[in-house]
Amino acid sequence: MVQKVAVIGAGVCGLISIKACLDEGLEPTCFESSHEIGGLWRFKDEPEPGRANIYQSVVINSSKEMMSLSDFPAPAELPNNMHHSEVLLYLRLYAQAFRLPQHIHFKTSVVSVRQTPDFAATGQWEVETERRDGRRQTAVFDAVMVCSGHFTKPHLPLRNFPGIESFKGRYFHSWDYRNAEGLQGKRVVVIGIGNSGGDIAVDISRVAEKVFLSTRSGAWVVSRLGQGGLPADLVGTSRVDAMMQRLFPSWINRMVEKKLDEAFDHRLYGLKPKHGYFAQIPLVNDDLPARIISGRVQVKPNVKEFCGSTVVLVDGTIIDKVDIVVFSTGYNYSFPFLPSALQAQRGEQLRLYKHVFPPALTKPTLAVVGFIQSFGAINPLAEMQARWVTRVFKGLTTLPSEETMMKEIEKDTAAIHPRKCNPHQVNYIPYLDSLAEQVGVKPNILWLLLTDPRLALQVLLGPCTSYQYRLTGPGQWAGARQAILTQWQRVHQPFRTRVVPEPETRPSSRRSIIVIVSCAALLCSFFSPLAFFRPPQ
Ligand X SMILES: *[C@@H]1O[C@H](CO)[C@@H](O)[C@H](O)[C@H]1NC(C)=O
Ligand Y SMILES: Cc1cc2nc3c(=O)[nH]c(=O)nc-3n(C[C@H](O)[C@H](O)[C@H](O)COP(=O)(O)OP(=O)(O)OC[C@H]3O[C@@H](n4cnc5c(N)ncnc54)[C@H](O)[C@@H]3O)c2cc1C
Residues binding ligand X (CB under 6 A): 61-62, 155, 194-196, 281, 284, 330-332, 373, 375-376
- Phi then psi for 97, rounded to 5 degrees? -60, -35
Segment lying near ligand Y (by CB under 6 A), choices 60-68, 270-278, 509-517, 524-532? 60-68
Residue 373 contact, options ligand Y, ligand X, none, Cβ 5-8 Å cut-off depending on partner type: ligand X
Cα distances from 346 to residues 283, 349, 350, in angstroms, run 29, 8, 10
CA distance linking residue 269 with residue 298, whole number of Å: 9
Out of 10, 256, 319, 356, point to the residue binding ligand Y (CB under 6 A).
10
Longest dimension (CA), the chain: 113
Segment lying near ligand Y (by CB under 6 A), choices 32-40, 200-208, 270-278, 418-426? 32-40
- Residues touching ligand Y, count (CB under 6 A): 33
Q: Which of 356, 361, 359 is CA-nearest to residue 424?
A: 356
Q: Which is nearer to ligand Y, 40 or 319 (CB)?
A: 40
Q: Are strands 297-300 and 283-284 parallel, antiparallel or unpaired?
A: unpaired
Q: Which is nearer to ligand Y, 149 or 289 (CB)?
A: 149
Segment lying near ligand Y (by CB under 6 A), choices 28-36, 119-127, 136-144, 294-302? 28-36
- Contact between 39 and ligand Y by CB under 6 A: the answer reads yes
Residue 113 contact, options ligand Y, ligand X, none, Cβ 5-8 Å cut-off depending on partner type: none
Q: Which is nearer to ligand Y, 187 or 358 (CB)?
A: 358
Q: Which amino acid is at 122?
A: T
Q: Which of 402, 195, 216, 188 is CA-nearest to residue 296?
A: 188
- Contact between 329 and ligand Y by CB under 6 A: the answer reads no
What is the strand order of the sheet 303-307 is part of?
303-307, 310-313, 318-319
Q: Within 10 A of 185 (CB to CB), how many other CB atoms are there?
A: 9
Q: Which is nearer to ligand Y, 54 or 455 (CB)?
A: 54
- Contact between 60 and ligand Y by CB under 6 A: the answer reads yes
What residues numbered 394-433 form the site for ligand Y, per CB under 6 A? none
Out of 2, 5, 6, 9, point to the residue binding ligand Y (CB under 6 A).
9
Out of 52, 145, 439, 471, point to the residue binding ligand Y (CB under 6 A).
52
CB 104 within 8 A of CB 30: yes
Q: Which of 111, 87, 110 is CA-nearest to residue 37?
A: 87
- Contact between 8 and ligand Y by CB under 6 A: the answer reads yes
Residue 194 contact, options ligand Y, ligand X, none, Cβ 5-8 Å cut-off depending on partner type: ligand X
Residue 487 contact, options ligand X, ligand Y, none, Cβ 5-8 Å cut-off depending on partner type: none
CA distance linking residue 139 with residue 28, whole number of Å: 13
CA distance linking residue 489 with residue 467, whole number of Å: 15
CA distance linking residue 354 with residue 372, whole number of Å: 10
At 160, is the secondary structure helix, strand, or coil?
A: helix
Q: Which amino acid is at 489?
A: Q
Out of 6, 11, 239, 326, point to the residue binding ligand Y (CB under 6 A).
11
Residue 219 contact, options ligand Y, ligand X, none, Cβ 5-8 Å cut-off depending on partner type: none
Q: Which amino acid is at 36?
A: E
What residues numbered 354-393 form the site for ligand Y, per CB under 6 A? 370, 377-379
Q: Rounded to the nearest 5 degrees, what angle is found at the Cα of 378, between the Cα atoms of 372 and 379?
A: 130
Q: How far is the CB of 503 from ligand Y (least distance, A)?
A: 36
Residue 375 contact, options ligand X, ligand Y, none, Cβ 5-8 Å cut-off depending on partner type: ligand X
Q: How far is the CB of 196 from ligand X (least distance, A)?
A: 5
Cα distances from 243 to residues 2, 65, 164, 247, 404, in angstroms, run 38, 21, 48, 6, 27
- Contact between 464 and ligand Y by CB under 6 A: the answer reads no
Residue 131, H or E segment:
strand 125-131
Q: How far is the CB of 117 from ligand Y (least distance, A)?
A: 23
Segment lying near ligand Y (by CB under 6 A), choices 144-152, 256-264, 342-350, 413-421? 144-152
Sequential DSSP letters for 261-277:
HHHS-TTTTT---SS-G
Q: Which residues lie near ligand Y (CB under 6 A)? A: 8-14, 31-34, 39-40, 51-52, 54, 58, 60-62, 67, 109-110, 147-149, 151, 196, 337, 370, 377-379
